[in-house]
Amino acid sequence: MNQGVISSLLLLPIYSKLVSTQRATSTLTPPKPPDSEFIGFPSVTVRNLVKMPEKHIPPKIESFEDLEVHLRGSLNPNKTLALLLDYDGTLAPIADHPDKTIMSIAIETIVNKLAKNPNIFLAIISGRALDDIKNKIGINGITYAGNHGLEIESADNSRHDYVLSEEILENYNRLVKDLQENAVKNNAWVEDKRISLSFHYRAVPVNMKEAIKQEAKRIIEKHGYTANAAHEALEAKPPVVWNKGEASVFLLKQQFGEDWPKKVNVVFVGDDTTDEDAMKKLQGVGKSFRISSDPEIKTFADFRLTSQDLVGDLLSWISNTYENEE
Ligand SMILES: [Mg+2]
C-alpha cells in the first residue's frame, strides 16, 4: 500500500466524524469545512482567493464629522441596506449587570426609525438568549439572532435553530455544574443561556479576578467549549462552526438570495471578539465598525468607533442617507 493510501485511511475516521456530527446536529446549514474561511458566496470566494480577510488597525472615527469624511458616498441609498447590529456595548453601554443595560433615548428612537424604513433590513445579532434580546429591543417585525446566532427569529416569526448534539448538550450541563461548584465565588456568576453561557467576573475583587478567570477558562475548555474574552466576562460557546459570521451570511442569503453581495449594502456594528466573526465574513463586501477605545486594536472591521455613544451618530448618519433619497 502506498503512502498516500495509508494517509487517506488514517484520516478517514476523523473526516467521517466531522461530517456525521454536522449532519446530525444542525437544522441550519453549516459551511463545508474547506469553505469556512471564505465569505460563502462563489464570486466573493474567488475575490478572496486574491485577498483573504485579515486583521488590521483601521481608521478611527471619533465624531460625526469623521463619519462624513470616511463614509460619504459609500452607501448607495438606491440599494437596500442590511443593518446588522450587536446590542451589549453597541446599542447599549455595558452595565454592572446584563439586566441593567439600557439604550439611550436617542439610540432607541433612531433604531425604531430605522426599523420602520422599508429600504432597511434590520437584524440584531447578540450573545444573549433570543427571548432576552427580543425583550431588550422590543421592536416587532425585525430579525433577532440570539446566542451568537444559534437561535434566530426572523421578521415573519419563523424560527431557525442550530440543533446541538446530545453529547454537546450533556457537556453543557456538566459545564454549568462544574462552574457553579468551582468558579462561582467572590461575586462571579454564570449567565445560563441554555446552549451557551457567560461567566461574569466584573464584581470579583481586583486581586482575585485573574485567578478566577483562568479557572473558569480551564473549566470551559475542559468540557469542550470555547472561551471567548468579553467585557469582564468569558463567553462559553459550543464547539460548532456557527457564530455571528455564519449567522450573518445565513440571514443575508435567506433575505436576499445567494447573490446578496450584489443586491444590498451591508453594515455591521459590534464591540467584542465574537463580533469579529461577522466582520471577517463581511470584509470586502460590507462596512463593519468595531467599537473600541484601544488605538492599537487589530480587527477585521473597516473602521473603529472610539466610543459606544458614536453608534447613535452612525445610525443617524445612515438614517439621513436613506431619508435624503426619498
Ligand atoms: Mg457586544
266-286: average pLDDT = 96
Look-up of cell digits 468551582? 182
pLDDT in the model for residue 200: 97
154-182: average pLDDT = 96
231 Cα: distance to centroid of ligand 1 (angstroms): 8
21 Cα: distance to centroid of ligand 1 (angstroms): 29
The gap between the terminal CA atoms of the chain, to the nearest Å, is 70
* Of 22-31, 59-68, 217-226, the least confident: 22-31
**pLDDT tens figures, 177-202:** 999 999 999 999 999 999 999 999 99
HEC per residue, 159-204: EEECCCCHHHHHHHHHHHHHHHHHCCCCCCEEEECCCCEEEECCCC
280 Cα: distance to centroid of ligand 1 (angstroms): 16
In the chain the domains, ranked by start, together with CATH numbers, are: 60-162+241-324 (3.40.50.1000), 166-237 (3.30.70)
23 Cα: distance to centroid of ligand 1 (angstroms): 30
Segment (H or E) for 240? none
Does the structure show a pLDDT above 80 at 122?
A: yes
24-28: Cβ within 8 A, 24+ apart: 24/165, 25/162, 25/163, 25/164, 25/165, 25/168, 25/240, 26/162, 26/163, 26/240, 26/242, 27/160, 27/161, 27/162, 27/163, 28/152, 28/160, 28/161, 28/162, 28/242, 28/246, 28/250
pLDDT in the model for residue 63: 95
273 Cα: distance to centroid of ligand 1 (angstroms): 8
What is the rounded CA–CA span in Å between residue 260 and residue 72? 22
What is the rounded CA–CA span in Å between residue 115 and residue 124? 11
Q: Measuring CA to CA, which residue among 82, 104, 86 is closest to residue 249?
A: 82
What is the rounded CA–CA span in Å between residue 51 and residue 320? 33
Strands 226-230 and 80-85: unpaired
94 Cα: distance to centroid of ligand 1 (angstroms): 8
59-71: average pLDDT = 95
**pLDDT tens figures, 8-58:** 434 333 333 333 333 333 467 555 544 433 344 444 444 555 578 999 999
323 Cα: distance to centroid of ligand 1 (angstroms): 28
pLDDT in the model for residue 283: 96
Does the structure show a pLDDT above 60 at 114?
A: yes
pLDDT in the model for residue 21: 32
pLDDT in the model for residue 51: 76
Q: Judge contact between 77 and 324, C-beta under 8 A.
A: yes
Mean pLDDT for all residues in the chain: 87
pLDDT in the model for residue 323: 85
92-105: average pLDDT = 95
88 Cα: distance to centroid of ligand 1 (angstroms): 4
Give SS3 for 107: helix
Partner residues linked to 270 by β-bridges: 290
Q: What are phi and psi of 265, to 5 degrees?
A: -80, 140
**pLDDT tens figures, 134-148:** 999 999 999 999 999
What is the rounded CA–CA span in Å between residue 232 and residue 94? 10
What is the rounded CA–CA span in Å between residue 251 and residue 125? 10
24 Cα: distance to centroid of ligand 1 (angstroms): 30
Partner residues linked to 264 by β-bridges: 80
Q: For the chain, what percent of residues have pLDDT higher than 70?
A: 84
Q: What are phi and psi of 121, to 5 degrees?
A: -100, 115
pLDDT in the model for residue 30: 58
Does the structure show a pLDDT above 70 at 299?
A: yes
Give SS3 for 205: coil
Does the structure show a pLDDT above 70 at 80?
A: yes
pLDDT in the model for residue 39: 40
Higher-scoring residue by pLDDT: 326, 217: 217
85 Cα: distance to centroid of ligand 1 (angstroms): 9
Strands, DSSP E only, in 183-309? 189-192, 197-200, 226-230, 233-237, 264-270, 287-291, 303-305
129 Cα: distance to centroid of ligand 1 (angstroms): 13
33, three cell numbers: 469545512
89 Cα: distance to centroid of ligand 1 (angstroms): 5
